[in-house]
A and B are shown apart, each in its own frame.
Chain A
């Protein structure tokens, strides 16, 4: 009898626990934008060859958004969008450390970064990318110190100034990204290769033209932050020997002109590993329209994105949420690494050997070869590691957030668009903001689909991928599972 009561009580408690609602709480918001333009000249990253920028065509910025709910069920998230190609994990660690030192109550694991993937921003990896001249050019370690100092200060300021506010979410569309993987009649693929060929058959994957938006206001109704999620990397001017925030600069300027110069704008690149802002066909038609409008290509992309943001704002501005459900789950997700075959190993090893010889013969050859050599040397090292550990796993920081009706989820890759679509289609959230390049093990890594691996070419070859399609599916499944859990509870 007594045992029966106990069982009933335990079962009731368990049910109540499971069914307990996620409590809606007042949202606190803090925001800051900080200039992270490097001292010139500086080496910019994103291409295989070394480029030294003598000029900053636009400023580079880091934009911070702090979200918090208080009390027993309180939660926090600190999001930092940066005009950089990638964010090395060790650099993220340094910022977290610095912030923690100044504000011990912050849960530093809930700080996450994302890179807009501009190819005209400084090198951030401590070693291995380029042989940067030792003098006359900003050194990587110096820029990293500058970055840590500036960004951690911005986070601290945003945190200290957080105050009650409200948020609304919306969705528009803009054609700002084009699939860059071209499939040919023989089943092979090319990255950014020609489409005006008889052998051209199709684009390899999909394009996501949704522009997800968040608008955040302070208690007085002043718009303080806008988040814009675009499934296209900001690399329209990727080849330049200059510092440039790419299309995010005119996006920010255009939005500030309309919504106030103090508004903080976070650019989130959604899953876009196989996407480019460059036209892959009918370029002449697009160029004509742009020229008739007297706009540069980055300005044209910005025009489209701003239209989408405006349209969303007009629809959702009257539907603000100040008391809402807010949860932030962080975990280290182990993803199976892509298997390096013996053939991959031997080819990479031969390339590395050859490159070393060329550089030894002519040190100037390093400008073109050094990064590619190290890129392939990583494959050699992975193979050697595999001999000791035949099932290597890549540890990825995964953030999944519920904010009212929307979900935000991160990954560390240049994630092919189809994976993002799988997450969005299966998600229980009203809208799912996928953020790619939220931390990288070194210079970033593509995560391709099986079709891409079969088709080959840069971005889907072994050197481009630490994690392959199998790991991609693990990432999708776990992300969806976590989102589901955030929606499984009854919402009060």
Chain B
């Protein structure tokens, strides 16, 4: 499984990527939506973990752009919203139910990643 983490909090994305790498999941990270679009054009990713609120291109818009170009990709949203109820309201706009509220448990994140990509055979 190859994963791209996108969060404008670079110290979060980089630590998370390193921890995923240690657990056998190849993870790259970037801190903006623009960089994320460049990365997915260069390399094939199975899944992107997107911060919901980022300057310029937010997670929902980024997902729509990536999905249009790379329909095989799966997505997980992370958010710093105060409550899951708040987040569900926003996430439902995209019909996306795959989200975690910060701070996340890395085991929960990995479990969700595996669930989303479990039927993807060769990409795992």
Whether chain B is bound by chain A comes out as: no
> Residues of B with Cβ closer than 8 Å to A?
none
> Residues of A with Cβ closer than 8 Å to B?
none
